[in-house]
Structure 1
Amino acid sequence: MLPSISPQHCIELSAGEGALLLPVIRIWPDVKIATCELDPENIKILKSRFQGKHYNIDVLSEDFDTVFEGRFSSFDFAVSNPPFSWRTISEYDVGVLRHFDLLDVFSGRRVRSEVLFILQYIRLMAESSYMAFILPELMVCSSVLEKFRSRLLKLCSVVSVSEVEVGAFKGTEAKTYIVVFKKEVGVHEFSYTDVAGKVSVRMQEAFCSGLHGRPRPLSLEGDDGFSAKRGNLSGKECRSLGLPYYHTSGFFKSADGVIPMPLDSAVILGKKPVIASRGDVLIGRVGSRVVGRAVVSDGEYIVSDCVFRVRFSNGVDSNNFLKYWIDNCYPDVVSQARGTCAKYITAQDLCTYIRGFIELGGQASILASR
């Protein structure tokens, strides 16, 4: 996946035991290695494996500037698997963000560690150098970091993005991408390889919008012949009411002694709950074991916030859609679900699948009924 280059100086921050560097020195045995690592035991391992400079420092501290003073813009290649985490913004972090004029993007109290690592690498890299990152889906696809990705493209360009299969890394279910950047602005296109190995060409703008383009907003009732709404009461809140509800664990009827009430007109816990009626399709929104699971409602139930309610307004048979979903959509939802810990599907993802069904028109119902 690496570009056709012959690097002279390679650096890795948060190098661990050097797993990413081993193939680098196999390809380029003469490359000079520099690493940073917090764990002193890992520093010993790195020194035994790689000739070069190895620093036992926190790269998100003043130590970084002290160690690399005079060496900024001097490395021509980098590999990185940065920490996947949010962190409270420190005074040092503020300085880094200010250096890149990004304080308006991260104006709250938290910032992603990956953001700061990417910026530290950019400080270290020479013009036209390459940086290869393993990054979580949040960094690459989420709307939360869209503004950061847009600003990032004023500092470098995307060379390639490769989707990594869920579960590829032991000990984590995080969905990840391998992203290669070049410290050069103005590159127009990059290659995108999906999890099935299919390669396509994308414009740089696609990286800003999360690779899949900007989806149309979630449809309103009757807009596209369907509506998709997420519940707004937690599973715990639903259980406490003693009223009929649907959660990822299934349907639950009224508790004994609870007087039935017209749910559709109720305001519960200060909210107007999302209510499923007979014939609505209910789809699990979150949960590694239940995401994407779907059923057709047999009555009136409160819908929990872990569930999407799909309602058709164009005469579509819900049971036909359910079969279509199970046969054509559910396998993809399971294999490509988002999330670092609990797996989930977004409203945009869901609407994309539903529109695929709608756009097939009568054929979808015929196919689904076979």
Structure 2
Amino acid sequence: MASPTPVAANPENSQASGAMNAHAGMPPATGSTASAKNPGKPVRRLALLLCFGLLLGLLALFSLAVGSKHIELSVVIDALLQPNDSADHAIIRDSRLPRAILGVLAGSALGIAGALVQSMTRNALAEPGILGVNAGASLAIVIAVGTFGINGFNSYVWFAFGGAVLATGAVYLVGMAGARSSDPVRLVLAGVALGAVLSGIGTALALVHPSAFDQLRAWTIGSLEGRSGEVLVPLAAAVLVGFVLAAFTGRSLNALALGDDTALALGYKVGRARVLILLAVTVLAGAATAAVGAISFLGLMAPHLARRFSGPDARWMLAYTAVLAPVILLLADVLGRVIIPGELEAGVVCAFIGAPVLIVLARRKKPVAV
């Protein structure tokens, strides 16, 4: 009896297997072509990530010197290391330093929230606002100002956060009502529908109460100006919780990128993973949106830029987004101080920066898949 002829290994199958394992957060198969060709790729990614982190630190330091009054970098360093009661040190300590920290925290939160939404829905045009975060926060601000007479950012910021959380929860309940599985398309449709309803209600109430309309208009633009240090501690706590939740979703995101059926075959619980992702998005986007306003374009742009350097691995993409998003927001804030006399809000400048970036990324010959 003749022995069966051994089947030769197909290098294409080996590469496909390695790609599937990489997407799913699993180590590539032994002897895979991808690993042989790129043995130092994680090292290069880490080195580039550290370079972007250094850029973020330098940009934050530069933001402390730029403003209506220019302050020398030597004075800025003295204010950080050996503060005194001089006027320049007071400006840095009481105004610009909290503003820079706010930009780093809110930028990272909005960027990661956008990356999570895009990966969960497998929609390259998704951002946190698609789940009703902005609409819920806006409606809550109108109610706080118009109904309860609450004025001042530090007072209604808590209403904005609560409105964002409630809106996202309502989107999930409506999108998943009667469904056996957590279909991302249903979530997107529910988010768009409820967002439109909440925005309409908020606009109608704002027209009835002119004072609420003024507050809403100032918040909707999105800015780092006028925020006190009191917001930093609760925002930092919320961002920390959101980062921890996002860190646990990295492997799930890689599996979900292959489709629900493949993720289930790999042993992932798709419904539980999407609930965890949605919870992380709610905490991150809700806290950041309440703190700096509706800077929605950042959550759309930063993940696309991060994928340009990280590749399809969701874990690297989240890490890059956490650094690149605050770089963009701080850059927009600094440019807004020097472009025109006075100041241009960071939300407006961020849109000016983001549009060319997205156009360049869209015209690339080899786009990176979500």
Q: TM-score range by the shorter chain?
A: under 0.3
TM-score (norm 1): 0.21
Q: Which has the higher contact order (CA 8 A, sep 6+)?
A: 2
Return the structure number with greater helix share: 2
Higher strand share: 1
